Amino acid sequence: MTTHRTTANDRLTVAVLGPGGIGGLLAALLSRAGHRVICLAGDETAKTLRTNGIRVRSGLFGDFTAEVEADTELREQVDACLIAVKATHLDAALTRVPPTVLGDALVVPFLNGVEHPASLRARYRAGRVAPAAIRAESTRVAPGEIEHVTPFAEIDLTGDPVPDDRLDALAKALDAAGPTTKVHADETATLWAKLSFLAPFALLTTRHSLPLGDVRTHHRAELTSVIEETAAVSRACGGPADPEHLLARFDAFPPGTKSSMQRDAEAGRPLELDAIGGALLRAAERHGVPVPVTTSLVRELGNTGH
């Protein structure tokens, strides 16, 4: 068994699996802050990153280019491996991170959803899987070219079985690099808090091909039902449940806001429907929570061919 080598003040070595909208942004910010960053990607993307680095355009963090290392597979020990592929690519991408090489490193998935931590814990050291939820909108416009458009980037880092000092060291590095990062003690609450907003937002904007403002105005009854159903499932799973607060959050967003699932649908890419809607329905079934409106929505989206 290897032991980790970091202290709060160390320069970290961080692998980033999936240097896209979120992974590319975090890789570039960490590199700019002085950490060693190894991006793990397909052959072509890895070549591009080695040659050109990662170019970021961000109102919040500025426009800059950061040098990174890049490989198709993890070949050495790191302090943490950030996982930022889409759920639909997770299984294929994980073959680039052999458990024996990863050893004692933190495994930090930024994926939306609530089921991936269990599958990562089955594959890697359970006590090193530290899920993160990120609030930001960031797009990979081309390999190694990232546009971060939101005037905020906030990370909630969690992981019930992960030692506090490991979470704190990574949170400190991320926070100093740019995104406001907080460690949260309750993993279930953290992941369900994110899904409770995201699921209604993603499912309804994608189903109706409308931005959030039109959904909350023209499909308000349906939105309210999905928020209430999601909150009931979250409560049954041990997460937060405050439908009125969630609806108020919807009302506070700029009307033109689109979800990433909606953008994937517009671009003809596979949807993270199973990781978001599917996971919600499975949790509802496990706990006997009725979710008729969400069930119809997920079924309709599944029938659209994505």
Ligand X SMILES: NC(=O)c1ccc[n+]([C@@H]2O[C@H](COP(=O)([O-])OP(=O)(O)OC[C@H]3O[C@@H](n4cnc5c(N)ncnc54)[C@H](OP(=O)(O)O)[C@@H]3O)[C@@H](O)[C@H]2O)c1
- Residues lying near ligand X in the complex (CB under 6 A) are found at 17-23, 40-42, 45, 84-87, 89, 92-93, 96, 110-112, 134, 136-138, 140, 143, 260, 272
Closer by beta carbon to ligand X, 36 or else 89: 89
CB 202 within 8 A of CB 260: yes
Closer by beta carbon to ligand X, 79 or else 137: 137
Task: Residue 193: count other Cβ atoms within 10 Å of its Cβ.
Answer: 20
Closer by beta carbon to ligand X, 41 or else 289: 41
* Smallest distance, ligand X to C-beta of residue 85, A: 4
Residue of this chain nearest to ligand X (CB atom): 20
Q: What is the DSSP string of 17-78?
A: ES-SHHHHHHHHHHHHTT-EEEEE--HHHHHHHHHH-EEEEETTT-SEEE--EEESS--S--
Closer by beta carbon to ligand X, 23 or else 131: 23
Tokens of 225: 């039902």
Question: Measuring CA to CA, which residue among 23, 179, 160, 192 is closest to residue 93?
Answer: 23
* Smallest distance, ligand X to C-beta of residue 24, A: 6
CA dihedral 199, 202, 203, 204 (to 10 degrees): 120
User: In the 8-state DSSP scheme, what is residue 142?
Assistant: E
Question: Measuring CA to CA, which residue among 243, 191, 251, 167 is closest to residue 217?
Answer: 251
Pairing of strands 80-83, 106-109: parallel
Closer by beta carbon to ligand X, 54 or else 162: 54
* Smallest distance, ligand X to C-beta of residue 10, A: 26
* Smallest distance, ligand X to C-beta of residue 77, A: 20
* Smallest distance, ligand X to C-beta of residue 215, A: 18
Non-local (6+) Cβ contacts of 225 within 8 A are 293, 294
Q: CA–CA distance from 68 to each of 31, 38, 94, 140 (Å)?
A: 7, 6, 20, 16
* Smallest distance, ligand X to C-beta of residue 263, A: 9
* Smallest distance, ligand X to C-beta of residue 174, A: 14
Closer by beta carbon to ligand X, 8 or else 152: 152
Closer by beta carbon to ligand X, 32 or else 96: 96
